[in-house]
């Protein structure tokens, strides 16, 4: 069974789905309309909905005509809290909310998969589970909840796969990488509490702004001097607030930082050293350092065997072997698809959606983000092909 031609026939329908979602974006944990549209779509096409108590996520199940394993496919459905600046017919109609990360395209592609697989389900050995997942963009993430609520059970999911559009890849290209594919991403909130006073008399104060400068430098030295150079890790202080006037020494300074790593042992090391720096700063400068940490998504680990045996050969049937790219090093972005891959083998690939000739090169999380919609049918065909080929080979 080949899905390239069926996907091409559904191209306009999938673009229609995508533009509807794009015009009506909803942020994480608020995807009420999106949920309703997906549920109606599944119901209208006679596709079973598995009720899972996981917020606005929707789980569909297509049971094959013959017994076999179960292949899960995931699309995230949430948008971002930011304005859209594109002048397109399908521009967001919701103020300060935009599909700026391509989740609308992911959802449309999975709906296309559903239509194609449902059409041939009587010939299929096993099942395809459709995970329309809410809240990827906000910790704790919708994937964690779906896993905890049993979305990978009944029937038991054997493998799981997903893809994310990327304007850094030209449309028609598909990329996979074994091993780490996204970083663990954690957030710290720091407060350095000193003793304020007049800027002309610093000796009578405990200056939290001066301390913050040393503190940030100490944090940076963790990556440069405590982590093995070949290990990927990042500590970024992205916000700092303190003080009101040039001649007033503040009482306190607040900072926000993101901490990212590609290995769980390195992740643990970073947290240990950060907290040691907090305690050491207190002893060195006589201040108080308060900290809060919000643990984000774990490291995403792609299964190299699955990629080699199923993902790449299946996608070659859609885009051609010359358009498959090997990812040799991970970026430091976070992705809650990691929770699925902690439980089951599988992979999370990149789907080319950029087109320089059309001016579609802006990356995600940008108010000018848009994508080449020819990526959607290719993504749907790749996912459907991978699911079918896996089930056929393992029947």
Task: Show the beta-strand stretches assigned E in the chain.
Answer: 48-50, 58-63, 66-76, 125-133, 159-170, 174-176, 179-182, 184-193, 197-198, 233-241, 248-249, 252-261, 288-294, 300-302, 324-326, 346-354
Residue 294 has φ and ψ, to the nearest 5°, of -115, 110
In 3D space, the residue among 372, 301, 376, 368 whose CA is nearest the CA of residue 335 turns out to be: 301
**Beta-bridge partner residues of 360:** 355
- CB-based contact 123:390 (threshold 8 Å): no
- In the residue annotation, 136 being an active-site residue is answered as yes
Q: At what angle do helices 103-119 and 374-393 cross, to 10 degrees?
A: 50
By residue count, the chain amounts to: 395
Catalytic residue among 26, 31, 78, 335: 78
Catalytic residue among 26, 31, 76, 136: 136
Give dist(CA 91, CA 19) in Å, integer.
8
Could you say which DSSP state residue 307 is in?
I
- In the residue annotation, 78 being an active-site residue is answered as yes
Q: Active-site positions?
A: 78, 136
């Amino acid at each position: 069974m080949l899905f390239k031609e069926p996907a091409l026939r559904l191209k306009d329908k999938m673009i229609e789905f995508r533009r509807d979602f794009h015009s009506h974006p909803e942020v994480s944990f608020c995807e009420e309309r999106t949920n309703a549209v997906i549920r109606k779509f599944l119901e209208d096409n006679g596709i079973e909905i598995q009720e899972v108590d996981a917020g606005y996520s929707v789980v569909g199940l297509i049971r094959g005509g013959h017994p076999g394993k179960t292949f899960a496919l995931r699309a995230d459905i949430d948008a971002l809290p930011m304005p859209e600046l594109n002048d397109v017919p399908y521009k967001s109609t919701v103020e300060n909310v935009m599909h700026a990360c391509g989740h609308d395209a992911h959802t449309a592609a999975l709906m296309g998969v559903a239509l194609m697989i449902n059409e041939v389900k009587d010939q299929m050995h096993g099942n395809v589970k459709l995970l329309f997942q809410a809240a990827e963009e906000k910790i704790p993430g919708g994937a964690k909840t779906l896993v905890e609520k049993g979305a990978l059970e009944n029937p038991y999911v054997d493998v799981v796969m997903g893809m994310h559009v990327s304007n850094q890849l030209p449309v028609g290209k598909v990329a996979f990488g074994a091993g780490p594919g996204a970083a663990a991403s954690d957030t710290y909130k720091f407060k350095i509490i000193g003793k304020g006073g007049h800027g002309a008399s610093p000796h009578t104060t405990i200056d939290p702004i001066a301390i913050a400068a040393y503190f940030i430098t100490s944090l940076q030295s963790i990556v440069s001097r405590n982590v093995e150079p070949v290990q990927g890790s990042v500590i970024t202080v992205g916000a700092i607030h303190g003080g009101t006037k040039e001649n007033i020494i503040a009482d306190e300074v607040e900072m926000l930082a993101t901490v990212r790593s590609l290995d769980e042992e390195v992740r643990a090391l970073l947290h240990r050293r950060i907290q040691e720096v907090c305690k050491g700063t207190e002893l060195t400068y006589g201040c108080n350092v308060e900290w809060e940490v919000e643990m984000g998504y774990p490291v995403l680990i792609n299964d190299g065997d699955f990629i080699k045996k199923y993902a790449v050969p299946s996608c070659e049937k859609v885009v051609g072997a010359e358009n498959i790219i090997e990812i040799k090093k991970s970026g430091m972005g976070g992705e809650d698809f990691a929770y699925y891959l902690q439980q089951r083998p599988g992979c999370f690939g990149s789907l080319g959606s950029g087109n320089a000739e059309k001016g579609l090169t802006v990356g995600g999380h940008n108010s000018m983000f848009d994508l080449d919609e020819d990526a959607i049918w290719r993504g749907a065909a790749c996912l459907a092909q991978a699911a079918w080929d896996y089930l056929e080979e393992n029947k």
